[in-house]
Structure 1
Amino acid sequence: MAQGIKRLGISVAAFIAIIVIGALVLSLLIDRGAMRQAVESQLRAATGLDLAVDGDIDVSVFPRSYVTFKSVRLKGNGDGGPDSALSVDTLTANLRLLPLLLRRFEIADIALIQPTISVVRDADGGSNWTPFIKSLTRTMKPGLDDQVSFSEIRLQDGVLSYRDDAGHVLETISDIDLSLAWPSISRTFAAAGQFDWRGERIDGSISVNDFIAALAGERSGLKLRLAGAPMKIAFDGVIGNKSSLVLEGTLSADSASLRNALRWAGQEPPGAGGFGRFAMKARANLVGPSVALTNVNIELDKNVAEGVMTYTIAGGHQGLQATLAAGSIDATPYISTIRLLASGARDWNRQLFDLGSANPVDLDVRLSAAKVLLGSSTLGRTALSANLRGGALALSVGEAQVYGGIVQGTLGVSRRDNVANIKTQFQFRDVDLEACASDLLGVRNLSGRGNLSIALEASGSSPFGLAQSLDGSALLTGHDGAITGFNVEQLLKRLERRPLSGGGNFRNGKTPFTSLNVAVRFSDGVATADDIRIEGPTARISLTGTASVPSREYDLKGVASLANTPGAPGFNLPFIVEGPWDDPLIFPDPESLIRRSPASAPLLDAVKDKKTRDAVRSVLERITGGGRKPEPDAAAEPSADAPAAATPDAAPKAN
């Protein structure tokens, strides 16, 4: 171009000077009123919308060519107040330079500074924007020869509010900075930029293949991308809006923390563990207020599942239904914060439940998995369903392989103020009693196989409160097992020969059984055992008494018997079980041992005074080993055939 200017005999500097002088002359000669009217006419022709200008109008030709309107709003909808469909603090229309030199006014692009967009949806599905969209659709109808267009619309520092009174939805998007590619030669509409939504900065973009068809409610291709710190969402499919909004396509979402994403979306996830890394991809079909997801592939905390899901918003309520199948699921993160026992592992946790957060989403989830990990326990093939409605949880285990057997049952959890109400019924069939009793009851000295049925209910604001109010029943039957910690047969044979030989090894060995029956009733945290029977090849045991659930202590009395041959006299040993569940004290009844000794039986009968009787009895208990003592060394352990460790004559010396 510079060479062409030189051929004309003028320098580049001179040419620029001519342009500048021409622009200055043009700025003095141009009709600013005609320029403003032309811009207003083109805006109306391009959008079909009438603008009302309540403020000043500024026209500039040089050095920049533009027309600026202050306090602009759409006519026919409000007066610029909060319910106005659109109000703009400053609207600037930049003009194309070359047509301006020929005294034609053509808009190049538009900038909307501090626009406020309000969308109010009514119960019929329409909105305050419905008449404007219809007008825009008529204006942009293809085939119109006098159609006016411009390349871009920029929104700076904008605010969009959406209100749906029927659905109880109110959303505000602020600090909008978007660039809209207005359809001109092609029918494609695109927008990209940033905005603030619920305190997070979001990058967004949208592309509509046929903008005119989309405005008319016809199907059109749609691509949507949203990316922010809480979550990334992408949709690629089609959109239509004839009778109701329809979306069909591929939906994907991922988040570094689903817990943070749910909180950002206004949902408080349960507990304090899990809900970390999340990713999902599915085929989505949205019709009205319901979206159906098929071919779902979902990953949460490294747990992977597939299936179908449906999310619905109706009458202000949100509901999620899902049917999912997985290979292996680790549920440990979700139950790790549910601590029933305090750090000492002997007392119930007294920390209050956090029941303040309400979850407005109703859940109905069905899950099947080949393996489920729950802390140290592993479940095999599992099928369960969970229903959460109005803050009440109903969990149903159709069948789960656990402890080498099968478990079925239900768990219901509801709340009233800060009190949790729990009801549960479970049946464990043919399970490994050692693993089952250790995990569920904290009892580690039982082995064998058997069945366990429980029906319990409790109310409380903490695990300790639940233990205090526990009501219900439990039935345990077992076979072909053993109770470790004492050998009843060996002890009975020793005491049968020498009743006062002591009980030094009473807490060693194990007692095998062929059948075990335990029936327990619970009332206000007290477990009453009416019928505990243990049948073994060489010994029988029966127990009655109580156990305190809040203090986790036994108070039981029983009788152990040798299984002698028919017709032979039996040997019965009364004994006592006291102390904590995980380390109970088991000892023979001292009085029964004294009475069985021919030399010592008259002693208790002879002592009539209570103080004297208690003193003598204390000495006898030390003789017989009835109190808790350190376990003796093997070298010091008296054998079953050794002489008695003490006699009644030695009692005064011991005292």
Structure 2
Amino acid sequence: MKKIIMALVAVVVVAVIGIAALLALVDPNQFKPVIAEQVNKATGRDLVIDGDISWRFFPSIGFDIGKTELRNPPGFAEPNLAQFDQAELSVSVMPLFSQQLEIGNVSLQGGRVFIQTLENGVSNLDGLSGQAQSGADAEQPAAEPSTVETEQPAPQGEQPVWQISLAGVDINHASALIIDDQAGSQTEVQRFDFSLAKFAPGEWTAATFDIVGSAGELRFDAEGKTELLIAKALDGAEFKALSFKASAKDAVNDIRNANISLDSFKLGEWSTIEFSIEGQVPDLSFTTQGATQLMVDEAVKTIDLKAAKVSADVEGASLPRPELKIGLEADAKYYLEKGLAELPSLKATVDEVAVAGNASFQSADIPVIRFDLSSDNIDVDAFLGTGNESASSQQGEDPNQAGTVGASAGADSERDTDKEPDLSVLNTLDLAGKLAVGQFKAANAHMSDVTLAMTVKNGVFELSSLDAKLYQGTIHSTATIDATGKRPTYRVTNQIKGVQVQPLLVDVAQNDTLAGSGDITVNVLGTGLAEKRIRENIAGTVDIRFADGAIYGVNIPEMIREARATLKGQKAEYVKEEKKTDFSSMSSTINLGKGVASTNNLDIDSPLLRINGQGSTSLVNETIDFAVNTSVVATSKGQGGKDIDEVADLTVPIDVKGNWSEPTFSLNLAQLLKQNNELEQKAQREVERGLEKLLGDKAKDDDIKKAADKLLKGLFN
């Protein structure tokens, strides 16, 4: 026993003498020039070690390094690419004999990294590989490959595998600054702290980090923790219990809380991720949360999301409603190399509006978006809160407030009608897709079985087709909006067939003046999408063909009877009848241009009447000026059952004036009387010719002329 103790004492004495000799005879600071030279050869940069290098012997052999700097080339804003104030590293010696590398705690204090890209594209990271050499070394030719074959030792069985462990890593008060003079951007990390607990391949360890920084005016901070496992063969890694919390703020944005949690992560296996974000952006505040199943394939080429669900509550004056509830459910796959996201199953809701289908997104300078969506019902009026505007406008209003309200509305209208919509988004998208809607309502017009196809590319919106059922008829439309010029231009075509006009007018314009089955063809174009410019600049034609209808608000047969009574100096017999004029067909071509809609071929036919007219209406002032001529062309009972055979040859001129909301209909008495005088003069000439044939020279007798005049006056009075 005594010998064993003496042997141990001897070993300790030898170790102490060895350490003492090492401290006395070997100064680690003498290696500074050698270290700097080797770093310069490897990186082409100067390494400056200002602090001392000192040995450490407890609890393991290692060393401490003081302030150290890796220099930048001349011309950059800071002298150093990287630097630190203090670094520590130690290694246990005895385990090395058993192929075990046990590294003590690695500590780095006050580390800093500075990266800059100049306006000419040169970066202080260029040439760090050491390949850009100069001088004699750069001019020396490459050495000829050796032809001497080195004898390889025969394998002696399986070589032992080194086992590596690390007591921990601590990085405290590190910082970084990244400047890009080309892009005019700057990102700074004011503080970065990181810690890793005891680490060994094949064993779980814990890691935490904390970061504070800024990007331009945006200040951010984040903290997180996780558990980490590195495979024993160092060829894979796993995470679990990951949590991440961050916030960011600048002059207009405030992301107060962003939280992400991940239960576990391993390549090729599904993970569960949950998140929540609360904050505010200009004119909008939001709270959102979501969850999904996540998998990254082992080749790290695709990311799969399964059963992703996201919900958000948003508030803001810029929204169509003060508050909105938004929901999204989808399966998705993202191809990393292509930058392509595919959503084969997608369902999105905004309050009561819901759409479903599939979509894709291609990341590019101008994103490429494709979609094919459908919805059972979309009520735009209910969504925007405009569905009851017309009804409320027809209800009674306080007469004391009408003037004030009207003046305010007029002022707002004057401001808004001259404002062009912002179509800049059309220059930022490459979009194409289809949408199908079972029931659709907009501007109080009802449609069903709606299908549309549209594209947006290079600043041009194109509605290649819109088809729907509309009030017992059909509609087919196309439209183009080109926003590439100073002001947008547009072209619209509509083909409406078999539509019941009256219920459409009642819903859209609260006007029941016209009824019938209608075909309408619209072909218009113009410049400017502000309401005022549309009215002033729209040009084109509107072709109308109606059948089996009526014009409400005017009873033309009744006006004919009044006209006949007027010519006779009598008063027409009053008959209680509905104020409408039936017709079997109506046609007109309306020409649009210079703020005016005009026609010269208005034609309305019925078995009894022929109506033709011409005139115009101002699209700007909404005034009407039409002249309509009505003729009786049959000898039958007229509308209302009154006999009007006696006026079968009479044409009644009617003036339509006023405005769109309150048109007025009146007889043109001047034209009527002129027509009566012309008929009387024509009849007078015919009677005189008849008398001459019958009586010869006696027809010139004054008594015979008086008798003929009396007969004619009885006919026209």
TM class by smaller structure: 0.5 to 0.7
1:565 alignment counterpart? 635
Match among 280, 302, 308 for residue 246 of structure 1: 302
> Which residue matches 2:504?
436
Q: Does 1:364 align with 2:443?
A: no
What amino acid is the match of 2:665? I
Distance 1:526-1:293 versus aligned 2 partners, 3 A rule: same
- Closer, same or farther: CA 377–32 of 1 in aligned 2, 3 Å: farther
CA displacement, residues 120-179 of structure 1 (integer Å, 9 cap, x when unaligned): 9xxxxxx999999xxxxxxxxxx962535454565867558699x9xx998958567575
Counterpart residue identity of residue 305, structure 2: G
Counterpart selection for 1:326 from 362, 365, 375 = 375
Q: Is the 8 A contact 2:115 2:177 kept in 1?
A: yes
Residues 2-13 of structure 1: pairs in structure 2 closer than 5 A:
none
Q: Is the 8 A contact 1:595 1:601 kept in 2?
A: no
Aligned mate of 1:107, from 105, 115, 127: 105
Q: Is the 8 A contact 2:78 2:114 kept in 1?
A: no
Q: Where do 1:12-23 residues align within 5 Å?
A: none
Equivalent residue, structure 1, for 2:294: 237
CA distance in structure 1 between the partners assigned to 2:382 and 2:209 by the alignment: 39
Match of 1:286 in 2: 334
Q: CA deviation at 1:386?
A: 2.4
> CA separation in 2, counterparts of 1:488 and 1:343?
38
Q: Quick one: distance in 2 between partners of 1:455 and 1:239? A: 53
CA distance in 2, matches of 1:149, 1:491: 106
- 1:305 aligned partner, one-letter code: V
> Per the alignment, do residues 556 and 375 of structure 1 end up closer, same or farther by CA in structure 2, a change over 3 Å counting?
closer
Matched residues, number:
528
Cα displacement (A) at 1:559: 0.9
Shift of 1:30: 12
Shift of the alpha carbon at 1:457?
A: 0.2
Conserved? CA contact 1:487–1:506, under 8 Å: no
Does the C-alpha gap of structure 1 residues 239 and 105 become closer, same or farther in structure 2, counting only changes over 3 Å? closer
| 1:264 corresponds to | none
My pick for the range that moved more, 344-353 or 476-485, is 344-353
> 2-side partners of 1:403 and 1:318: how far apart?
39
Change beyond 3 A, Cα 1:213–1:596? same
Percent identity for Structure 1 against Structure 2 = 14
Residue aligning to 1:530: 600
CA deviation profile, 1:250-271 (whole Å, cap 9, x unmatched): 45555545999xxxxxxxxxx9
Residues 229 and 237 in structure 2, CA contact (< 8 A), matched pair in contact too: no
Aligned pairs (5 A) from 1:233-312: 236-239=293-296, 245-250=301-306, 253=310, 255-257=312-314, 273=320, 277-287=325-335, 288=337, 289-312=339-362
Alpha-carbon deviation of 1:79? 8.9
What TM-score results when the alignment is normalised by the length of structure 2?
Answer: 0.58
How does 1:335-354 map onto structure 2 within 5 Å? 343-344=409-410, 350-354=417-421
Contact 1:297 1:304 in 2 (8 A): yes
- The 3-state SS of whatever aligns with 2:673 is helix
- Could you say what secondary structure the match of 1:575 adopts? strand
How far apart in 2 are the matches of 1:172 and 1:493? 88
When the two chains are superposed, the root-mean-square deviation of aligned CA atoms in Å is 5.8
Counterpart Cα distance in 2 of 1:451 and 1:278: 40
Corresponding position of 2:615: 545
**Matched letter for residue 147 of structure 1:** I
Return closer, same or farther for 1:471/1:97 CA change in 2, 3 Å cut-off: same
Instruction: Report the CA distance between 1:526 and its aligned residue.
Output: 2.6
SS at match of 2:164: coil
Residue in 2 that maps onto 1:145? 162
Aligned to 1:512: 582
Identify the residue that residue 622 of structure 1 maps to in structure 2: none
Q: Contact between 1:214 and 1:239, CA under 8 Å: does it hold in 2?
A: no
Q: Are residues 146 and 210 of structure 1, via their aligned partners in 2, closer, same or farther at CA, if it must alter by over 3 Å?
A: closer
Which of 176-185 and 475-484 deviates more? 176-185
Q: CA deviation at 1:356?
A: 7.0
Tell whether 2:424 aligns with 1:374: no
- Displacement, 1:432? 2.9
The amino acid of 1:476's aligned partner reads: I
After TM superposition, the structure 1 stretch with the greater mean CA deviation from structure 2, 385-394 or 590-599, is 590-599
1:400 matches 2:468: yes
Matches within 5 A, 1:404-419: 404-419=472-487
Q: 1:530 to 1:206 in 2, by over 3 A?
A: farther
Bigger mean CA deviation after superposition, 408-417 or 272-281: 272-281
User: AA paired with 1:327?
Assistant: D
The separation in 2 between residues aligned to 1:309 and 1:590, in whole angstroms, is 67
Distance 1:92 1:71, change over 3 A: closer
Q: CA deviation at 1:380?
A: 2.1
CA distance in structure 2 between the partners assigned to 1:69 and 1:505 by the alignment: 114
- Give the Å deviation of 1:414: 1.0
1:397–1:152 Cα change, 3 Å? farther
- Asked if residue 580 in structure 1 is aligned to residue 578 in structure 2, the reply is no
- CA distance 1:555–1:225, change in 2 (3 Å): same
Query: Residue 495 of structure 1 is aligned with which of 563, 576, 579?
Result: 563
- Aligned pair in 2 of structure 1 residues 551, 148: CA closer, same or farther (>3 Å)? same
- Could you tell me which runs of 5 or more consecutive residues in structure 1 were left unpaired when the two chains were aligned: 1-25, 42-47, 121-126, 133-142, 261-270, 603-655
Give the secondary-structure state (helix, strand or coil) at the position aligned to 2:670: helix
Displacement of 1:412 in angstroms is 0.8
- Contact 1:204/1:226 (CA < 8 Å) preserved in 2? no
Q: Measure how far apart 1:436 and its partner are.
A: 3.4
**C-alpha distance 117-319 of structure 1, shift in aligned 2 (>3 A):** farther
The answer to whether the 8 Å contact 2:164/2:201 transfers is no
Cα deviation for residue 574 of structure 1 reads 0.7
- Contact 1:93-1:107 at 8 Å conserved across structures: no
The answer as to whether partners of 1:564 and 1:570 remain within 8 angstroms in 2 is: no
Q: 1:474 aligns with which of 537, 542, 548?
A: 542
* TM-fit CA distance, 1:474: 0.9
TM-superposed deviation, 1:583? 2.0
Q: Which amino acid aligns with 1:310?
A: S
1:339-380: CA deviation from partner (whole Å, max 9, x where unpaired): 9x9944998953221447454222223222222332423332
Q: How far apart, CA to CA, are the structure 2 residues paired with 1:346 and 1:508?
A: 37
Gaps of 5+ in 2: 1-19, 36-41, 57-61, 94-101, 119-124, 131-159, 239-265, 281-287, 390-405, 637-644, 682-717
Match of 1:619 in 2: none
Query: Are residues 58 and 334 of structure 1, via their aligned partners in 2, closer, same or farther at CA, if it must alter by over 3 Å?
Result: farther
Distance in 1, matches of 2:184 and 2:304, equals 23
Mapped to 2, the partners of 1:31 and 1:489 lie a distance apart of: 130
| Deviation by residue 1:596-645 (Cα, 9 ceiling, x = unmatched) | 6789999xxxxxxxxxxxxxxxxxxxxxxxxxxxxxxxxxxxxxxxxxxx
Change (3 A) 1:355 1:204: farther
Does the residue aligned with 1:419 lie in a helix, a strand or coil? coil
Letter in 2 for 1:579: G
Instruction: Work out the CA distance in 1 between the residues paired with 2:45 and 2:166.
Output: 17
Tell me the distance in 1 between the aligned counterparts of 2:24 and 2:479: 82
Deviation at 1:107, TM superposition (A): 1.5
- Structure with bigger RCO (C-alpha 8 Å, 6+ apart): 1
Contact 2:194–2:210 (CA under 8 A) maintained in structure 1: yes
Alignment partners' CA distance in 2, 1:223 and 1:32: 56
- 1:324 is displaced (CA, Å) by 1.6
Contact 1:519 1:532 in 2 (8 A): yes
Q: 1:34 Cα deviation (Å)?
A: 6.6
1:64-79 matched pairs, under 5 angstroms: 70=67
Partner AA of 2:366 in structure 1: H
Correspondence list, 1:147-166, <5 A: 147-149=164-166, 151=168
Higher mean displacement: 300-309 or 552-561: 300-309
State the AA in 2 paired with 1:323.
Answer: D
Q: Secondary structure at the match of 1:498?
A: helix
Secondary structure of 2:541's aligned partner? strand
Determine helix, strand or coil for the equivalent of 1:305: strand
Distance between the aligned counterparts of 1:130 and 1:444, measured in 2? Answer: 82
Work out whether 1:485 is the aligned partner of 2:553: yes
Query: CA shift at 1:71, angstroms?
Result: 6.4
